[in-house]
Amino acid sequence: MKDYDLAIIGGGLGGASLGFAMAQLGARVVIIEREAKFRDRVRGEGIFPWGCAEAKALGIYDALRDSCGHEVRYWTGHADPTHSTTRDFHTTTPSGLGMLNFHHERMQQTVAQLAADVGVEFRRPADAIGVTQGASPSVTIRTAEGTETLVARLVVGADGRASRVRGWAGFEVQRDPDCLTA
């Protein structure tokens, strides 16, 4: 059994970015990722300028832009069929950054590689099958080699909307009422 400072379940943008940041600060980090190879789940996505400023501060923006991103400087909004406005993100946002668009799986691989480059250990493909709470939290994983328990000072669930970690921890899901009108 190997001890870590941080065990993160989910190696996508959130999990890999957290692992990257913590490893840069000297933490021993392991990321448990169920997929051997990332898949395109959303057919592309984007980060708005305020998120790009956060990505820049975190140190992942340039790698995303250079490896898989396309910066969008202008945004055209259509209030109705006869009226549109164009916004120049470079001149109207505090960061001076545009929006960054990319393919989902390429973004995930880029951030995972950044994390690996600073010493984050990946267990991949590995399925998290349980989390134990308490003074020595742990996550139990299943790989092709068998079942293993990883002990960490902190276990983080970054496993998406249908998070199993949230359920294992006993967190209740609360949702705002649907605000969209027909």
**What sections of 25-73 are H helices per DSSP?**
49-58, 61-67
Which pLDDT score is estimated for 182?
54
Last residue of a domain, one of 102, 132, 150: 102
Q: Looking at the structure, tell me whether residues 137 and 97 fall in a common domain.
A: no
Q: Looking at the structure, tell me whether residues 114 and 95 fall in a common domain.
A: no
Q: Looking at the structure, tell me whether residues 137 and 161 fall in a common domain.
A: yes
Q: Which residues pair with 88 in a beta bridge?
A: 74
Domain with 30 in it: 1-40+103-173
Question: CA 142, CA 146: separation in Å to the nearest integer?
Answer: 6
Count: domains in the chain: 2
Terminal CA-CA length for the chain: 54
What are 142-158's pLDDT values in tens digits? 999 999 999 999 999 99
Which pLDDT score is estimated for 42?
66
Closest listed residue to residue 86, CA positions, set 69, 101, 72? 72
Which pLDDT score is estimated for 15?
96
What are 79-90's pLDDT values in tens digits? 888 889 999 999
Q: What is the DSSP letter of 171?
A: P
Which pLDDT score is estimated for 4?
97
Which pLDDT score is estimated for 61?
96
182 assigned to some structural domain: no
What backbone phi and psi angles, to 5 degrees, belong to 165? -60, -40
Q: Looking at the structure, tell me whether residues 151 and 124 fall in a common domain.
A: yes
Q: Looking at the structure, tell me whether residues 132 and 155 fall in a common domain.
A: yes
For the chain, what percent of residues have pLDDT higher than 90? 71
What are 57-112's pLDDT values in tens digits? 999 999 999 999 999 999 998 888 888 999 999 999 999 999 999 988 899 999 99
Last residue of a domain, one of 59, 87, 102: 102
Give me the helix-helix angle, 49-58 and 13-24, nearest 10°. Answer: 30
Q: Looking at the structure, tell me whether residues 127 and 159 fall in a common domain.
A: yes
What are 6-17's pLDDT values in tens digits? 999 999 999 999
Which pLDDT score is estimated for 78?
87
Q: Looking at the structure, tell me whether residues 109 and 80 fall in a common domain.
A: no
